């Protein structure tokens, strides 16, 4: 990682957003990967972010210890493991643009539905839908580092108490990141330099996680769900934009490559 001031500033902003997200403000960490890719290649950014996420996971799981819903975890975690295995298998083959756009459309539609019916009663979750969304969460977390939207689509209609919702979320993604770790090592996305940078950034990462948790606990449950729906809407728009930009850039690259072909 470069030590120029711009790179360091972008890195610290990304770590700060990840900390707030791990503290319970799900969605605000969306910008972390795009910000990091402004100053380094995506693979290098992923290698830096994963160990930082795992450091923050430890604190967030401790802060919300005992406040998770075991029934939901039993449905989601095995399905996510299948999605992670699938994601690692097709990591280098699946173009990210279409998946980003599709995930963005689904996320935005879900968020708009929630914002238009804020007082909707809690719904009993469908286990098969939970398994599908859990698998998609593991898949998109592995390929796009965006596992949150599909997880929240399953959890939010249940209207769980605020701390139970957050506790289940941080515990789920702690397990997901632990399952992803061996695959990321095998793919060469974790380097000694990345682990060193993560260790240096650990105190700041933990501080932002702690502040995120303190902030969430000052928000009442109804307002909390409203904030999450708005954040999900922003996530959906950003994912759609990323997918469109990827597709436009990919098409432009293909056209440029064709233009360079010799004409016989």
Retrieve residue 185's tokens.
């090592």
| Overall average pLDDT of the 50-67 stretch | 85
Report the distance separating Cα 160 and Cα 123, nearest Å.
10
Percent with pLDDT over 70 in the chain = 75
Q: Nearest to residue 213, comparing CAs of 36, 22, 40?
A: 22
The tens digit of pLDDT for each residue in 117-159 reads 766 666 777 899 999 999 988 987 887 667 777 888 898 888 8
The tens digit of pLDDT for each residue in 78-112 reads 999 999 998 888 765 666 667 667 767 777 776 77
Tell me which long-range contacts 61-66 makes (C-beta under 8 A, separation of at least 24). Answer: 61/170, 61/171, 61/174, 63/23, 63/170, 63/209, 63/210, 63/213, 64/24, 64/163, 64/166, 64/167, 64/170, 64/171, 64/213, 65/167, 66/167
Report the distance separating Cα 169 and Cα 69, nearest Å.
9
Higher pLDDT, 260 or 13: 13
| Overall average pLDDT of the 12-16 stretch | 81
> Is 183 inside a domain boundary?
yes
> Is 75 inside a domain boundary?
yes
Which DSSP symbol is given to 217? T
**Cα 72 to chain centroid, rounded:** 19
Instruction: Report whether pLDDT(172) > 90.
Output: yes
Instruction: Report whether pLDDT(69) > 50.
Output: yes
Looking at residue 264, its pLDDT comes to 41
Looking at residue 121, its pLDDT comes to 61
Report the distance separating Cα 120 and Cα 231, nearest Å.
18
Instruction: Report whether pLDDT(201) > 70.
Output: yes
Looking at residue 3, its pLDDT comes to 61
Classified as helix, coil or strand, 119 is coil
Number of separate domains in the chain: 1
Helix axes 162-186, 70-89, angle to 10 degrees: 30
Whether 110 contacts 153, CB under 8 Å: yes
| Overall average pLDDT of the 189-213 stretch | 80
> Is 230 inside a domain boundary?
yes
Alpha carbon dihedral 171, 176, 177, 180, in 10-degree steps, equals 170
Looking at residue 257, its pLDDT comes to 44
> Is 264 inside a domain boundary?
no
The tens digit of pLDDT for each residue in 177-199 reads 899 888 878 877 777 777 787 78
Instruction: Identify the domain containing residue 78 by its residue range.
Output: 5-259
3-state helix, strand, coil in the chain (%, to 5): 80, 0, 20
């Amino acid at each position: 990682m470069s030590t120029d001031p711009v790179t360091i500033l972008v890195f610290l902003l990304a770590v700060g957003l990840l900390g707030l997200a791990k503290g319970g403000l799900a969605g605000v960490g969306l910008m972390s990967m795009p910000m990091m890719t402004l100053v380094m290649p995506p693979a290098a950014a992923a290698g830096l972010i994963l160990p930082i996420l795992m450091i923050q996971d430890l604190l967030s799981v401790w802060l919300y210890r005992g406040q998770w819903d075991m029934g939901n975890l039993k449905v989601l975690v095995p399905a996510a493991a299948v999605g992670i295995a699938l994601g690692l298998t097709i990591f280098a083959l699946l173009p990210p643009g279409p998946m980003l756009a599709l995930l963005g459309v689904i996320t935005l539609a879900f968020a708009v539905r929630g914002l238009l019916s804020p007082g909707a009663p809690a719904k009993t979750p469908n286990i098969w839908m939970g398994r599908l969304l859990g698998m998609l969460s593991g898949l998109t977390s592995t390929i796009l580092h965006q596992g949150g939207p599909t997880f929240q689509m399953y959890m939010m209609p249940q209207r769980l108490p605020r701390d139970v919702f957050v506790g289940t979320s941080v515990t789920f993604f702690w397990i997901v990141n632990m399952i992803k770790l061996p695959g990321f090592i095998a793919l060469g996305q974790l380097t000694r330099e990345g682990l060193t940078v993560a260790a240096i950034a650990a105190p700041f990462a933990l501080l932002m996680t702690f502040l995120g948790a303190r902030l969430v606990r000052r928000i009442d449950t109804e307002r909390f769900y409203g904030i999450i729906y708005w954040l999900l809407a922003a996530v959906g728009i950003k994912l759609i934009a990323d997918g469109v930009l990827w597709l436009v850039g990919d098409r432009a690259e293909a056209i440029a490559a064709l233009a360079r072909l010799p004409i016989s």
